Amino acid sequence: MADYPLEALDLAVGYDGPLIRHVSFRVGAGEIVALIGPNGSGKSTILKTLSGQLKSWGGQIRVCGRELGSFPPKELSQKLALLLTEPIRPERMTCREVVETGRYPYTGYFGRLSAKDSRVVEESMALVEMEAFAGASFTEISDGQRQRVMLARAVCQEPEVLLLDEPTAFLDIYHKATFFQLLRQLTEERKMGVVISMHEPELAARVAGYAVCIRERAVFRMGKAEEVLRPEGVRELFGVPEALYERYYG
């Protein structure tokens, strides 16, 4: 396992051209890095570039010490998993069947699961405490339970890098707390490098060890999460007047 499962080196990202430049950070094994900033600041664009969904406009992305572009798609899927904001809503699929799709980088031509694949599926569901819902319809469980199933699907890929785009956007406080508790546990146990986009600095300061702050499509500040996400830094990042911030968050 590489010391740094994921590295972004002077990265420039965007759709039709570079919108954010000079993005540089490393993610260690067992470490969580938060991309934090207002909605529309470019956090999702960075994540999609790190995953290879969008091409970079400069710099380098290294996964386990190798250039991102050097990986064939199937091999990259064994190293990197992406969990997007909105969970998929497949029709007529059980929770177990959804998790099983996470084994696609390893299954044969017909997608048949081996004994090992089945064991990994069962272990992944147990890790997120969803084994009792294996036979339940994915569309009929709660949003919090769906996010746990999707996390199990990502873990099922056995990645060294996990990218999450606002994974708790539609969850209530309880399900957010339990999701992040589970994520930290999995990160430490599996020694994954995790990058998560968020717009809640209070949560990011507790979940992540390192934070990359994005504002107005530019890197605003980077450093240890507990340092760069202090109240004065948060006010400046989100453009909140001091009196207003103190009234509602002080």
Helix (H, G, I), strand (E, B) or coil at 248: helix
| pTM given for the model | 0.92
Q: Which residues contact 248 (CB under 8 A, 6 or more apart)?
A: none
Q: Are 164 and 194 in contact (CB under 8 A)?
A: yes
Task: Quote the tokens at residue 49.
Answer: 């570039």
* Distance between start and end Cα atoms, the chain: 42
Tens of pLDDT, residue by residue over 194-238, are: 999 998 898 999 999 999 999 887 889 999 999 999 999 999 999
Position 224, amino acid = K
Position 74, amino acid = K
Per-residue pLDDT of the chain (250 residues; tens, 9 = 90+): 568 999 999 999 999 999 999 999 999 999 999 999 998 889 999 999 999 999 999 999 999 999 999 999 999 999 999 998 765 667 789 999 999 999 999 986 567 899 999 999 999 999 999 999 999 999 999 988 999 999 999 999 999 999 999 988 888 888 889 999 999 999 999 999 999 999 889 899 999 999 999 988 788 999 999 999 999 999 999 999 989 988 887 7
